[in-house]
Amino acid sequence: MSARRAQISPWAPFEDRRRARDEKKHAVLRMAARLFLDVGYHRATLNDVATRLNITKPALYNYFRSKEDILEECYRLGQQMVDEAIAAIDAEGGDGLTRLRKLIRAYAQLMTIDFGMCLVRLDDRELSEEAYRRVRAEKRQDDLAFRRYIEAGAADGSIVACDAKLAAFAIAGSLNWIGHWYRADGAYSADQIADHFANLLTTGLEAKSARARSPSGKNAQKTSTEPGNRSRKISP
Amino acid sequence: MSARRAQISPWAPFEDRRRARDEKKHAVLRMAARLFLDVGYHRATLNDVATRLNITKPALYNYFRSKEDILEECYRLGQQMVDEAIAAIDAEGGDGLTRLRKLIRAYAQLMTIDFGMCLVRLDDRELSEEAYRRVRAEKRQDDLAFRRYIEAGAADGSIVACDAKLAAFAIAGSLNWIGHWYRADGAYSADQIADHFANLLTTGLEAKSARARSPSGKNAQKTSTEPGNRSRKISP
């Protein structure tokens, strides 16, 4: 019995160790993101992050080179979620209005989670020059996705003719602001906000013909938590 | 002749000196606000501000106690402009939709000038505890003004029934975002943005009866620079 035990390595299999390491790295990121949002990037120290995770500050350097490195990774994770949402919507297809509403819903929900909030509440000028340029380019791509769906909608008749650039800025601004005011213990759930904004921000853009195709609802501004709800009449 | 000259004080009259001092203080604020926006509050130094104004850093202390003091004053000036806009709109009266559009126009224009941008682009957690609380309370008042006009519109029939709180957040978010993307040398003038957003952000809220009262235009999303333009039909 004791002979068999001696043959078992005190180290976990390599795969398990790698997974454990990835999980720990992610836990550092989550804690750092929360702290950056809570007290601001400048006031947050790696000591605070370590203390909250019951580890020492040197232990953090197993995972990241610096606070700036962590910040960059927070942006990367948030941006990855936006990219995935856009890729999924593009893959599903549909008219411009449908895709625009899906993006509004997905983006609104991202704004209620920490890595999404990091994209809009932290100052990207704290990043290295290289990371800053990459982050800015990615943000432009997000803006362009909104614009692309609006232009597609204007072309396929689901959205009225409009200045797509300004309309995209107006929508993105409303959504980014969620990252500033949303509270997990607040009056609205992420789903409610997503549904509400998908209605509110597209009611004025919807072409008459698209409205006629939708089953008419009692009131467009009432929140619906029904996923497929398409009732967006402007007034009762 | 020389006797008369001797009676003239080499100092300017007190009133002129006070005015000159106020002008200089304001010049410091304008330069500091621009620098905070250009390079970020943390990277901006009082030395940079002084150098750009052709004065020494100690000379700045004639006007402000600290960088934080300057930051607080930037917020104060921006907030004062918002307060004055709301007071003027309240004094003029009109239905909820009319007042909402006026506030959107005024706020959009504020977002294109430095002190307005400071309100939304600088981190208010850099302020002293007391100033932070005051700034937050004032921002809540701004949000409440949007909400108040939407509620008034719902009551007087110019705006559809809606969740006024979320609608106000959506509008304020769109407007605050202008402070992030606006460039003085960009494609849109402050007036064009203000007109466009006043249309874009209220088309979905406008009650059918209010639309019926408006002279109908070709397309609501087209920018109008005509101040009194009320044509906001949704589709051609």
Question: Which among A45, A64, A83 is the end of a domain?
Answer: A64
Question: Which pLDDT score is estimated for B226?
Answer: 38
Output b/e per residue, A92-109; b: 16+ Cβ within 10 A: eebbbbbbbbbbbbbbbb
Domain CATH for A225: 1.10.357.10
Using CB atoms, which residue from A123, A173, A207 is nearest to B40?
A123
Residue B130 and residue B53 share a domain: no
If you count them, how many residues does chain A have?
Answer: 236
For residue range A134-183, list pLDDT tens digits in order: 999 999 999 999 999 999 999 999 999 899 999 999 999 999 999 999 99
Identify the pLDDT of residue B234: 30
Over the stretch A141-155, which tens digit does the pLDDT of each residue have?
A: 999 999 999 999 999
Q: Work out the pLDDT band at A56, boundaries 50, 70, 90.
A: very high
Assigned domain for A7 exists: no
Average pLDDT estimate for A193-216: 77
Query: Which pLDDT belongs to residue B3?
Result: 53
Q: Are residues B188 and B123 in the same domain?
A: yes
Whether A170 sits inside 8 A of B197 (CB atoms) is yes
Distance CA B230, CA B199 (A): 9
- Asked if residue A80 is part of any domain, the answer here is yes
If one counts every other C-beta atom within 10 angstroms of the C-beta of residue B194, the result is 25
- Taking only the tens of pLDDT, chain B with its 236 residues reads 455 555 787 778 888 888 888 899 999 999 999 999 999 898 899 999 999 999 999 999 999 999 999 999 999 999 999 999 999 999 999 999 999 999 999 999 999 999 999 999 998 888 999 999 999 999 999 999 999 999 999 999 999 989 999 999 999 999 999 999 999 999 999 999 999 999 999 988 887 766 655 544 334 443 343 333 333 333 33
Residue B125 belongs to a domain: yes
Minimum distance, in Å, between the CA of residue B222 and any CA atom of chain A: 6
Closest in A161, A223, A234 to B163, CB measured: A223
On chain B, the residues whose CB falls within 8 A of the CB of A161 are: 219, 221, 236
Whether B2 is in a domain gets the answer no
pLDDT of residue A151: 96
Residues 6+ apart with CB under 8 A from B203: A203, A204, B220, B221, B232, B234
Distance CA A58, CA A156 (A): 57
Residues B84 and B193 in one domain: yes
Which of A38, A64, A90 corresponds to the end of one domain? A64
pLDDT digits (tens, 9 = 90+) for A89-106: 999 999 999 999 999 999
**CB distance A104 to A175 below 8 Å:** yes
On the question of pLDDT at A43 being above 60, the answer is: yes
A103/A50 same-domain check: no
Residue of A nearest to B127 (CA): A40
Phi, psi angle pair for A206, to nearest 5°: -65, 130
Same structural domain for residues B177 and B91? yes
Q: How high is the pLDDT of residue A4? A: 56
Q: Which residues form the domain of A76?
A: 68-236
Asked whether residue B91 falls in the same domain as residue B46, the answer is: no
Q: Is residue B1 part of a domain?
A: no
Looking at residue A170, its pLDDT comes to: 95
CATH of the domain at A26: 1.10.10.60
Tell me if A221 and B197 make a contact (CB, 8 A cut-off).
Answer: no
Round to whole Å and give the CA distance between B107 and B182.
13
Q: Note the pTM of the prediction, 2 decimals.
A: 0.82
Q: Are both B183 and B231 inside the same structural domain? A: yes
In chain A, the percentage of residues whose pLDDT exceeds 90 is 70
Q: Are residues A206 and A95 in the same domain?
A: yes
Q: How far apart are CA A165 and CA A163, in angstroms?
A: 6
Q: Cβ contacts (< 8 Å) between B167 and chain A: which residues?
A: 200, 221
What local confidence, expressed as pLDDT, does residue A101 receive? 96
Domain total of chain A: 2
d(CA B107, CA B175): 7
Judgement on whether residues A34 and A147 belong to the same structural domain of the protein: no
Q: Is residue B6 a part of any domain in this protein?
A: no
Residues of B in contact with A222 (CB under 8 A): 161-163
Q: Is the same domain home to A40 and A121?
A: no
| Measured torsion, CA atoms of residues B38, B40, B43, B49, in degrees rounded to the nearest 10 | 50
Determine the pLDDT at residue A6: 59
CA A212 → CA A5, A122, A203, A232, B207, distances in Å? 73, 42, 13, 10, 18
Chain A residues in contact with B176 by the CB 8 A cut-off are 173, 177
- Which residues in chain B are closer than 8 Å to A220, comparing Cβ atoms? 160, 204
The pLDDT of residue A93 is 92
Same domain, B48 and B108: no
Inside any domain, residue B69: no
Q: What is the pLDDT of residue A125?
A: 85
Kindly state whether residues B43 and B92 are assigned to the same domain: no
Residue B151 placed within a domain: yes
Q: What is the overall mean pLDDT for chain A?
A: 86
Determine the residue of chain B that is closest to A202 in CA distance: B204
Out of A64-78, A199-213, B122-136, B220-234, pick the least confident: B220-234
- Quick one: pLDDT at residue A72? 96
